[in-house]
Amino acid sequence: MNNKIEVIGIDHGWSHMKTPTTVFTTSIKENPSPTFFKDVLEYKGKYYNIGGERLEIKNTKVENDDFYLLTLAAIAKELEKRGNITEATVYLAVGLPLTRFGEEKQAFIEYLSKNQEVQFKFEEKQYHIKIVKVSVYPQCYSAVTELIPNFQRRAVVVDIGSWTIDIMPVINKKPDDRKCNSLPHGLITCMREINRDCVKNFNYELEGVDIEHYIRHHHLNNVPEEVLQLVDRYLKSYADMVIRSLKELEINIQTTPIIIVGGGASVVKNYGSVRLPNIEYKLDVKANAKGYEMMARIALRNVRG
């Protein structure tokens, strides 16, 4: 076993799993006899397809083995990017929403570290991993780690995820957890409304992956123009809803430095009607994973002293 510690940041989203170099759909399904082994995890004699239809939302991420197995797949994907590493001593850096951080932190640590040493195959490649530490950091705040030194006395970070919009005031460069909010209006709620009305008005089904592609690339091949116009209307309405929610929380959008991150940041930037110099966008969907990893590397250096 290589004694070098591989610090790996993982963002366990309900829509996508992210590491600093990879993104894949939060989806796992047992497959008794796979024909092809692309994105196939083998663990304890069972095979699992990674990717496909998203998992159902549950109260927490520790209710079954799904996120543990997805974590193994994320580790394998990240180690492959680092030079086809198959044996590693791993320090996992992960995150939770600030509003649930205190309540769920310890359970998440125990869940991810339940096996100190683990062997598995991913895409028919054998991995031997030793997990020496799991640290949990607040998401949203982690996404702007490298920006924090430049923050003014007050700022607000808005993380638009799949299922929630997390709003975190930062006072004197520290999160003000007393005033954090988590709104149940993530981007998937908008995409579901789009698909519902596409079916209702045009008898045309436009799934989440299609809408995600349109948000990123601003075009969809062979899709009727009236469908795309409907998508544009919903995305504009969603973007304006995000800004309206900040106003309702008594955040002065004219003067407060606001940093919008997460998968929905590009929607607000490209479709919102509000254009203000104090609103900044960070469009990297892997930002939280990179932030977790950065903070864990700092903690590791401090321990080594």
Task: For residue 279, give the H/E element and its range.
Answer: strand 279-281
Q: How far apart are CA 186 and CA 264, in angstroms?
A: 8
Give yes or no for residue 2 having a pLDDT over 70.
no
Give yes or no for residue 64 having a pLDDT over 90.
yes
Furthest C-alpha separation in the chain: 63
Task: For residue 297, give the H/E element and its range.
Answer: helix 287-304
All domains in the chain, ordered by first residue: 5-138 (3.30.420.40), 143-283 (3.30.420.40)
Q: Which residues, including other chains, have CB under 8 Å from residue 181's CB and lie 6 or more apart?
A: 99, 166, 167, 249
Model confidence at 271, in pLDDT bands (50, 70, 90)?
A: very high
Give yes or no for residue 303 having a pLDDT over 90.
no
Q: Are 172 and 195 in contact (CB under 8 A)?
A: no
Q: Are 17 and 23 in contact (CB under 8 A)?
A: yes
In Å, how far from its chain's centre is CA 89?
A: 24
**pLDDT tens-digit map of 93-117:** 999 987 788 889 999 999 999 999 9
Q: Are 12 and 24 in contact (CB under 8 A)?
A: no
State pTM to two decimals. Answer: 0.90
Give yes or no for residue 150 having a pLDDT over 80.
yes
DSSP tag of 26:
S
Give yes or no for residue 247 having a pLDDT over 90.
yes
Which ranges of 20-148 does DSSP label H, i.e. alpha helix?
A: 66-81, 101-112
